[in-house]
Amino acid sequence: MFKGLDRNDIRLMLVVALVTLAAPLILNPFPADSAWAQFNAGYPDLMQRFVIYGIFAIGFNILFGLTGYLSFGHAAFLGVGSYAAVWMFKLLSMNVVPAVLAAMAIAGLFSLAIGWISLRRTGIYFSILTLAFAQMSYNLAYSVLTPITNGETGLQISINDPRVLDRAFGTAASDSVPYPDFFGLQMNDTASFEFFGRVFQFSVGYYFAAMLFLAAFYLALRLFRSPFGLMLRGVKTNQSRLEYTGINPRPYTLAAFVISGVYAGLAGGLLAAMDPLAGAERMQWTASGEVVLMTILGGVGTLLGPVLGAGFIKYFENILSKINDQILHQWFAFLPDGMEDFMVTLVSPFVGKGWHLTLGVLFMLVVIFLPGGLVEGFQRIGRLLARLVGRGRKPVSDDDKGGA
């Protein structure tokens, strides 16, 4: 499994695996009854989103980070994946395996068609083409394709769906709307433990998504270190030179496009598996913009960056949007009255419903000052610390070779 990877890669993989598996423990640092409990991220719903959007961003990064093709329409594949998964729930079985497989397959085919056309152009033309395709899918999903997508209401499962396989094996529940399961383990099954006043929740859904996330991360790692990955980097560095050496870059970029489409489909399928509902707004171009934000914020072209970016955005979306004026007044209660009101007025546009403002400002700061994203930020801090600690000793070489 680790053949051909150097020690740093193996260490990275192991650390990521450990953190992912222990996330319900790590992300719950504050006791449940303390005022800080709202900063806990260790509940299934949010952790699922961490890993699912992590998969989405990793896949996007395989295209944008390696080949430099900036797609503004990746949410279309996520949406198609969700629809495919929900249809599998409706037609075949509530088991998540066929749903996830179908989501990947359909998104893969869809991305093959779109990529085959869009990749004829480069630069901004490519971005506009992908954007145009995604907006087309979104508009169609809302209007003409309503029989398939159920329009504005969104596609849902109901008691009367055929679910052929479930009925054949006699596992179909008939009295209530069923929930997706993995061979009998329901996705929303959760085991809660309480230690030291902290509630740790281990949910089936999270671990199912987490295992797929680890597989996706491992594949991306192998891909980054493979000759194929090197070829994709070649496309980003200088496509014309690649052509002059007699290599046709199209098959490589198309493969990268389809791989990232399949990743997006997987993410969409998992979203549907956690909550069997698919709506067209998942395909809107703002959703495509979000995955771009995640990747850039974390660090383009690095392995860990997109995952960090996805986690960062989803965490702050969840936490900041919950903070209201009342909570702010509690925080600044130690200040004199006038100062307290002033601070609350100052901070309140950035939290609650205004958290997108924070995101926009943060994103601009990253693009302006830290083009390498959070990963570069951490590397800079690490180097700074190393210099402070190791002052007088020989300088630390920074060998990052484009990895994390």
Partner 1 sequence: MDAIILQILNGLDKGSAYALIALGLTIIFGTLGVVNFAHGALFMLGAFVAVTVRRILTLSFETIDPTRKDFLGNPLKVKTTYVEHWFGPDAGQWLIDWSVPIAVIAAIPVMALVGLAMERGLVRHFYKRSHADQILVTFGLAIVIQEIIKYFFGANPIPVPAPEIFRGSFDFGVLLGFPENAIIYPYWRLVYFAFAALVIGGVFAFLQFTTFGMVVRAGMADRETVTILGIDIDRRFSIMFALAAIVAGIAGVMYAPINSPNYHMGMDYLVLSFVVVVVGGMGSLPGAVLAGFLLGILESIASMKALIDLVPGINQVIIYLVAIVILLIRPRGLMGRKGVMED
Question: Of these, 40, 82, 127, 253, which contacts partner 1 (CB under 8 A)?
Answer: 127
Residues 137-176 as x/- pattern, contact with partner 1 by CB under 8 A: --xx-xxxx-------------------------------
**Of 13 and 134, CB closest to partner 1:** 134
371 touches partner 1 (CB under 8 A): yes
129 touches partner 1 (CB under 8 A): yes
Question: Of these, 27, 58, 106, 359, which contacts partner 1 (CB under 8 A)?
Answer: 359
Residue 323, number of CB atoms within 10 A of its CB: 17
360 touches partner 1 (CB under 8 A): yes
The C-alpha atoms of residue 384 and residue 396 are separated, in whole angstroms, by 10
How many Cα neighbours within 13 Å face the side chain of 348?
14
In the complex, minimum distance from the CB of residue 384 to partner 1, in angstroms, rounded to a whole number: 24
Question: Of these, 1, 368, 388, 389, which contacts partner 1 (CB under 8 A)?
Answer: 368
Query: Which of 54, 49, 9 is CA-nearest to residue 305?
Result: 54
250 touches partner 1 (CB under 8 A): no
Answer whether 69's CB lies under 8 Å from 63's CB.
yes
The C-alpha atoms of residue 39 and residue 37 are separated, in whole angstroms, by 5
What H or E segment, with its residue span, contains residue 190? strand 190-195
In the complex, minimum distance from the CB of residue 266 to partner 1, in angstroms, rounded to a whole number: 25
**Of 86 and 119, CB closest to partner 1:** 119
* Binding to partner 1 in span 329-358, by CB under 8 A: 349, 353-354, 356-357
Amino acid at 380: R
Residues 80-119 as x/- pattern, contact with partner 1 by CB under 8 A: -------------------------------------x--
The C-alpha atoms of residue 44 and residue 206 are separated, in whole angstroms, by 6
The C-alpha atoms of residue 200 and residue 28 are separated, in whole angstroms, by 7
Residue 342, number of CB atoms within 10 A of its CB: 13
> DSSP letter string over 129-168?
HHHHHHHHHHHHHHTTTHHHH-TTT-EE--TT---HHHHH
Amino acid at 326: Q
- How many residues line the site for partner 1 (CB under 8 A)? 40
Contacts of 185 (CB under 8 A, 6+ apart): 204, 208
Question: Of these, 110, 213, 312, 363, which contacts partner 1 (CB under 8 A)?
Answer: 363
131 touches partner 1 (CB under 8 A): yes
Q: Of the listed pieces 52-60, 124-132, 258-266, 267-275, which binds partner 1 according to CB under 8 A?
A: 124-132
128 touches partner 1 (CB under 8 A): yes
Amino acid at 119: L
124 touches partner 1 (CB under 8 A): yes
Residues 275-294 as x/- pattern, contact with partner 1 by CB under 8 A: ----------xx--x--x--
Residue 29, number of CB atoms within 10 A of its CB: 13
Number of residues that this document lists for the chain: 404
Which residues would be at the binding site for partner 1 (CB under 8 A)?
68, 70, 117, 120-121, 123-125, 127-129, 131-133, 135-136, 139-140, 142-145, 285-286, 289, 292, 296, 349, 353-354, 356-357, 359-361, 363-364, 367-368, 371
